[in-house]
């Protein structure tokens, strides 16, 4: 019945695709014992929110200064305000724990781990706010791109503490509160990066990090302005946009590392790539309907477009329901989770750390579903 043109109303097809995506993913996670049960999930995420609120006070209050109230007010980000305020502590916790555990995996429990974790919390939350503005506020995006571009990133990455302080004073004069929030996160990241690795220290690593940040900026911008790019290029952008932030945090975690263990480095790279791709696949999965409606770049939709050579909503939805795209993508997701789970279990870490990071990973896999 679905295969016949326009038998089902479009709205019903959209609902059916959304339901099928969630049914398939949840089933796959349940049969592989990767689905965190309700009570354990709720308890863990409550702990993440508490940690995030503490990070807000410890990291963000000094950074935001008198503008800290903007994080609590209902006057910013319009209809997305509630989402912004509820997700902010979670975004901080997510970035913090990834930075912490990538550091543990790279170099063990050193003094650096906590510092890298705090830096990663700033970075991850900044990226989330950047995405929010780019995806939902085109009138702000234009001004944002004028301020934060390749040259700005290059300057910030090489500025002295005095120059960073001068840039911070310029940010204070930005009128739009949403932009001011984001810009303070960005300058805060570079200030903390400079404290950890002064300009005359770790020069090569800082240059490599800068190239990754520029690449990340370009992929973010191309993801909303992909125009007539070939599908193969769009597929690369779809993956890069989601995966690169995790690779940047991995870069931060490995800057202090002096031990060149090539075997560990190779397996760690495989783990982090699979970890990142799990959230990329899941992100495109759960945003499938929204991305179709908004004409946003999406791995699953691009695969379909490549096969049936149409972009109209109705035939694409039909193809999703009658094809194997959802099952195939869910199997790719499970394969990556398997690799991550096996890697973590094999590491010579404190069992509490390994078990916590596995729980962290699976809890956020479930959280992405909401």
CATH code of 211's domain: 1.10.600.10
Our count of domains for the chain comes to 1
- Give the domain range for residue 121: 10-368
Say whether 232 sits in a helix, a strand or coil: helix
Identify whether 284 is part of a domain: yes
CB 84 within 8 A of CB 132: yes
In a domain, 4, yes or no: no
Contact assessment for residue 84 and residue 76, using Cβ atoms and an 8 Å cutoff: yes
Q: Domain for residue 220, yes or no?
A: yes
Give me Rg for the CA atoms of the chain. Answer: 21
Mean of the per-residue pLDDT values of the chain: 91
1, 57, 87 from 206: Cα distances, Å: 57, 28, 30
Residue 50 placed within a domain: yes
Residue-wise pLDDT tens digits, 250-281: 999 988 876 665 555 788 899 999 999 999 99
Note whether residue 232 is domain-resident.
yes
Q: Return the structure tokens found at 180.
A: 């001011």
Instruction: Name the more confident of 5 and 172.
Output: 172
In a domain, 2, yes or no: no
Q: Looking at the domain assignment, is residue 5 inside a domain?
A: no
Q: What is the DSSP letter of 323?
A: S
DSSP state of 264: H
pLDDT tens figures, 191-220: 999 988 876 667 788 889 999 999 999 999
pLDDT in tens, 44-88: 999 999 999 999 999 999 999 999 999 999 999 999 999 999 999
CA 240 – CA 219 distance, rounded (Å): 7
pLDDT at 258 (0 to 100): 64
More confidently predicted of 370 and 332: 332
**Residue 287 covered by a domain:** yes
| Dist. CA 283–CA 24, nearest whole Å | 15
């Amino acid at each position: 019945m679905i295969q016949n043109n326009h038998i089902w109303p479009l709205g019903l097809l959209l609902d059916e695709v959304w339901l099928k995506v969630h049914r398939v993913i949840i089933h796959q996670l349940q049969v592989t014992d990767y689905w965190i049960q309700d009570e354990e999930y709720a308890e863990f995420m409550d702990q993440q929110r508490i940690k995030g609120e503490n990070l807000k006070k410890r990291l963000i209050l000094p950074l935001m200064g008198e503008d800290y109230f903007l994080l609590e007010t209902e006057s910013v980000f319009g209809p997305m305000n509630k989402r912004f305020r509820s997700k902010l502590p979670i975004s901080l916790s997510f970035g913090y724990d990834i930075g912490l555990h990538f550091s543990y995996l790279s170099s063990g429990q050193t003094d650096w781990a906590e510092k890298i974790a705090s830096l990663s919390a700033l970075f991850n939350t900044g990226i989330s706010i950047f995405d929010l503005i780019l995806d939902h506020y085109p009138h702000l995006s234009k001004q944002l791109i004028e301020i934060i571009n390749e040259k700005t990133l290059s300057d910030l990455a090489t500025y002295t503490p005095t120059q960073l302080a001068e840039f911070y004073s310029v940010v204070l004069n930005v009128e739009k509160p949403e932009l001011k929030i984001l810009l303070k996160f960005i300058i805060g990241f570079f200030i903390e990066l400079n404290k950890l690795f002064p300009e005359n220290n770790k020069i090569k690593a800082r240059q490599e990090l800068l190239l990754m940040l520029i690449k990340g900026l370009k992929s973010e911008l191309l993801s909303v302005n992909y125009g007539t790019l070939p599908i193969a290029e769009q597929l690369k952008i779809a993956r890069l946009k989601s995966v690169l932030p995790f690779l940047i945090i991995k870069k931060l975690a490995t800057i202090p590392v002096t031990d060149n263990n090539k075997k560990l480095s190779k397996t760690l790279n495989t783990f982090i790539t699979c970890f990142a791709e799990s959230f990329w696949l899941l992100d495109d999965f759960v945003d499938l309907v929204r991305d179709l409606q908004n004409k946003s770049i999406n791995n699953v939709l691009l695969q379909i477009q490549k096969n049936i050579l149409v972009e109209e909503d109705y035939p694409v939805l039909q193809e999703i329901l009658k094809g194997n795209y959802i099952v195939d993508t869910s199997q790719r997701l499970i394969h990556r989770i398997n690799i991550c789970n096996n890697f973590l279990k094999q590491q010579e870490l404190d069992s509490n750390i390994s078990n916590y990071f596995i729980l962290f990973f699976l809890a956020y896999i479930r959280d992405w579903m909401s």
